[in-house]
Amino acid sequence: MAKTDLEVHDDKPLTIAEFEAIAKTKLKQQVWDYYVSGAEDQISIQRNREAFTRLIIRPRVFRDVTKIDTAATLFGKEYAFPVGISPSAYQKLVGGDGELDVARAATGRKTLMILSTNATCSCEDVIDAAGGPDAHFWFQLYVSQNREKSARLIRRVEAAGYKALAVTVDTPVLGNRINERKTQLILPAPLSLPNMEDTDPDRSKKPSLNRELLQATNRQEADRVQEAARERGLLNDPSLTWNETIPWIRKQTSTMKVVVKGVMTAEDALLAVEGGADAIVVSNHGGRQLDGVSSTVEALVEVVDAVKGRVPVLVDGGITRGSDVFKCLALGADFCLVGRPALWGLAYDGRRGVEMVLDILERELSRTMALSGARNLQEIQRGMLGVERRDGFGIAKL
C-alpha cells in the first residue's frame, strides 16, 4: 500500500541530530570516523556542543513578531539568513556530487558557502554550479611552504569569482587525530583534489604529506618528512606571522577580502584587526586541531568584545540548532557557519539533503526569534542570554 503524503513527510528527519544518525548508517566507517572525530581525547569537540547548553535564553514577550526578518549582510552581500557552510574536505566521499551539490544548495537557500582547498571539485566548477560569481562564495586557503604555488591558487580562485579568502591560521601542522593515524584516509580513484598542485603522479594513492608528518613517531622521522616535502611545498607553512602573511596575501589579490579563520583569543583578534583582516572566524577547526581549547562560543565573547564591531565576526563549531545560532548572534556574532550538519545532509540526499538541513536551521532560528521577542537580527541582544548563578539560585544575565 502506498504511503500518504503525511506518512512520507513523517519519515523525513526533522532535526540535525536525526540527519547525523542517518548519515552514520550511510557512510563507510572510515569516512564517518574521519568527519565525526576530533583530536586526541576529543574534549574540545564535546565542549563545542555542550557549551551551548550553559547559555539560557531570557525571552521577551508581548512584542509584535508577526514578521520575522532573518536577513544578514556580509561585505555588502545580503544573505537570507545568518548561517553559511564551513569548508570541509573531500565532499564527494560523502554523497551526491559533493561540493557541487553543497554549492547548489547554498545558492538555492541564498546563503554563503566557503569552499575547501581540499575540495574534490574544482573551484571553477563549484562557482559554475552556484550560478556564477553572484553567489558571493569564499575560498578557504591553506598557505603552503611554496609561496608561488599558493599565489597561483589565489589568482586562480580570484579569476573564478570568489569574493574572499578564508585563510586558515590554526593549522601549522595537523592536530593529533588518533583515528586518522590508525586508519589513514586515502581518496579512492577516480577522486582527486583539482585545486591542488602536485607533481607526484601517485600522490592520489598516498596519504598527504601533512598526514605523513602526523604519523611521525620521533623527531628524526618528522625531520625526514619535512625535508622531503620542503622543495615541493606540499606542507602547510608553519612560519606564518601577523606581520608578514596578511600583507603578502593582499599583494596577490586586487579584489578579494581577507578573512582570518581560526582565531580563539582576544589577543589574536586585535592582531588580526591591526594587521588588516577584513573579518574573523572564531573556530577551533571543529575540535580537530588542538584538543583542550575552549569551545568556540566561549571564545566568541572575548573576540567580539575585543573587535568592537570594527570587522565582522563569524563563528563555527557545535552549532546544531537554530537556538544555537540565536545564542551566537546574541553574543555578538555577525554570522554563523556549519560544517558537519551540511555533510550529514549531503549524505542523506545530496543537494536536497543539504537544503533540508539549511531549512531546519532557518525555521528553528525564526521560531526562536519569535518566541524570544526579536523581530530581526539587530534585536537579538546579549541581555537575552543568561547563565546559572554561581552564588545562589536563579539566572545571571550576561
Whole-angstrom Cα distance, residue 129 to residue 99? 9
Question: Is 89 annotated to bind ligand?
Answer: yes
Question: Is 201 annotated to bind ligand?
Answer: no
DSSP annotation of 203 reads G
Three-state secondary-structure class, residue 396: strand
Whole-angstrom Cα distance, residue 107 to residue 18? 24
Question: Which grid cell sits at 18?
Answer: 536525526
Q: Let me know if 9 is a catalytic residue.
A: no
Place of cell 541530530: 17
Question: Is 283 annotated to bind ligand?
Answer: yes
Question: Is 88 annotated to bind ligand?
Answer: yes
Question: Is 261 annotated to bind ligand?
Answer: yes
Question: Is 34 annotated to bind ligand?
Answer: yes
Tell me: cis bond preceding 190? Omega within 30 of 0 counts: yes
Question: Which grid cell sits at 13?
Answer: 528527519
* 133-137 contacts at long range (C-beta below 8 A, 24 or more positions apart): 133/160, 133/161, 133/162, 133/163, 135/103, 135/106, 135/107, 135/161, 136/75, 136/77, 136/112, 136/163, 137/103, 137/106, 137/112, 137/113, 137/161, 137/162, 137/163
- 182 HSE (CA, 13 A, CB side): 10
Question: Is 47 annotated to bind ligand?
Answer: no
Burial readout 311-341 (b: 16 or more C-beta within 10 A, e: otherwise) = bbbbbbbbbbbbbbbbbbbbbbbbbbbbbbb
- Rounded to 10 degrees, the C-alpha dihedral 208/211/213/216 comes to -130
Question: Is 233 annotated to bind ligand?
Answer: no
Question: Is 348 annotated to bind ligand?
Answer: no
**Which of 285, 321, 327, 351 is flagged as catalytic?**
285
> At how many degrees (to 10) do helices 296-307 and 266-274 cross?
50
Question: Which grid cell sits at 394?
Answer: 536563579
Question: Is 87 annotated to bind ligand?
Answer: yes
The answer to whether 66 touches 397, Cβ cutoff 8 Å, is no
Tell me the DSSP string of 67-132.
S-B--EEETTEEESSSEEE---S-GGGTSTTTHHHHHHHHHHTT--BEE-TT-SS-HHHHHHHTTS
Question: Is 226 annotated to bind ligand?
Answer: no
The answer to whether 316 touches 281, Cβ cutoff 8 Å, is yes
Question: Is 147 annotated to bind ligand?
Answer: no
Question: Is 177 annotated to bind ligand?
Answer: yes
Q: Residues at the annotated binding site?
A: 34, 87-89, 116, 140, 142, 168, 177, 261, 283, 285, 288, 339-340
- Residues belonging to the binding site for FMN are 87-89, 116, 140, 168, 261, 283, 339-340
Q: Extract the annotated binding site for glyoxylate.
A: 34, 142, 177, 285, 288
The catalytic site residues sit at 285
